[in-house]
Amino acid sequence: MLDFLIFGGVLLGIMYIVLYLTVLKIPKFKSSVKLHGKTFIITGSNTGIGKATALDIAKRGARVILACRDKQRAESAVNDIKKQSGNNEIVFMHLDLASLQSVRSFAENFLKSEPRLDVLINNAGVVTEGKTKDDIGLIFGVNHIGHFLLTVLLLDRLKECAPSRVVTVSSRGYEIGTIDFECISTQKDLGRGNSALGLFMKYAHSKLCNVLFTHELAKRLEGTNVTCYTLHPGAIRTEIGRHANLLWKMILTPITTLFFLDVEFGAQTILHCALQEGIEHLSGCYFSDCAVQKVRAKARDDAAAKKLWELSERLCGLA
């Protein structure tokens, strides 16, 4: 009986720690700001954190562009968001971040049809083996290169509509990431091999790319009244691994089911970076739990950020 009570006490303690580190520790974005007349683009917004973010922004009255690859899922998301928000200004525009031509077509179509862009939210991400249509590693291509090109192509419109923002979803996984510039130059990828561990590490490397991209972008946007931020959304239960191989799913699914949070929690820091007033002086910074965080030295390396930008330009055909 005593052993059972001790075991029960230990189990309750573990459950409290998990609860504290997840639900109890994540603050909510509490601003009641309204967004009528504003236009947002959110990539990967037909599901998960992106959809939860789009719904919140739609409820505030903004025009929301769901920039997604899967037409059927996106149109279903459009209908859901319209119904739940009462806002009919929700539009699907096709965007496949694994194709640079698709990124260019999206930007061209958007610039022709939409007069405003107030906030670009680079949210989409994958943890999947394979190559993009441009022979770039898929994780690298979708999580960084596609968003890099999209942002660059839309910068003039963001400047015209300033004050405006670019928000890029990263992850604490950046902390174990590294940038192998030789591998990028020769393989168009962030690493070699596609084991479960190899894919996870490529994901971590891509999240470091997100932080370095934002660091460099902030420098290039100085004086424009366009600001940019990157963030860790939290340990969130999403569909990011739905196209992953079976081994990856076997590893990931039990962990996410038991310990990760619902997508509404993951939207909170995105909303903070996109909507919070008075953070313009923090352009280029990294956020978590709706607050600015200090990053590792490798994530604020000026030389690495500049080199990544230049390599990205070359891979996109911009240089």
- Whether 16 is catalytic is no
CA 218 to chain centre: 17
Q: Which of 16, 20, 174, 203 is catalytic?
A: 203
Does residue 110 fall inside a structural domain? yes
What are residue 68's DSSP bridge partners?
A: 94
For the chain, where are the alpha helices, taking DSSP H only?
2-21, 48-59, 71-85, 100-113, 138-140, 147-160, 181-187, 196-220, 246-259, 263-275, 302-316
> Is residue 45 in a domain?
yes
Of 51, 169, 44, which is closest to residue 106 (Cα–Cα)? Answer: 44
Per-residue confidence (pLDDT) for residue 319, from 0 to 100:
82
DSSP state of 190: S
Classify 230 as helix, strand or coil.
strand
Three-state DSSP state, 121: strand
Residue 18 lies in a domain: no
pTM of the model: 0.87
Total of domains in the chain: 1
Check which CATH number belongs to the domain holding 265 and give it: 3.40.50.720
25 falls within a domain: no
Question: Structural domain of residue 175, as residue ranges?
Answer: 31-316
Could you tell me the sign of the dihedral formed by the alpha carbons of 298, 299, 302, 304, in that order?
Answer: positive
- The per-residue pLDDT string of the chain (319 residues; one tens digit each, 9 = 90 and over) reads 455 445 445 554 555 455 545 554 568 899 999 999 999 999 999 999 999 999 999 999 999 999 999 999 999 999 999 999 999 999 999 999 999 999 999 999 999 999 999 999 999 999 999 999 999 999 999 999 999 999 999 999 999 999 999 999 999 999 999 999 999 999 999 999 888 889 999 999 999 999 999 999 999 999 999 999 999 997 654 554 455 456 555 555 555 554 455 667 889 999 999 999 999 999 999 999 999 999 999 999 999 999 999 999 999 999 8
Name the one residue in this structure whose structure tokens are 């770039």.
Answer: 136
User: Quick one: pLDDT at residue 234?
Assistant: 75
Cβ-contact 266, 260 below 8 angstroms: no
Torsion from C-alpha of 296, 301, 307, 308, nearest 10 degrees: 20
**In terms of DSSP bridges, do strands 286-288 and 291-293 run parallel, antiparallel, or are they unpaired?**
antiparallel
Question: Phi and psi of 271, rounded to 5°?
Answer: -60, -40
Assess if residue 229 is contained within a domain. Answer: yes
- The pLDDT of residue 16 is 47
The 3-state DSSP class for residue 252 equals helix
User: Residue 298 falls within a domain, yes or no?
Assistant: yes
Asked if residue 61 belongs to a domain, the reply is: yes
What pLDDT, on the 0 to 100 scale, is given for residue 240? 47
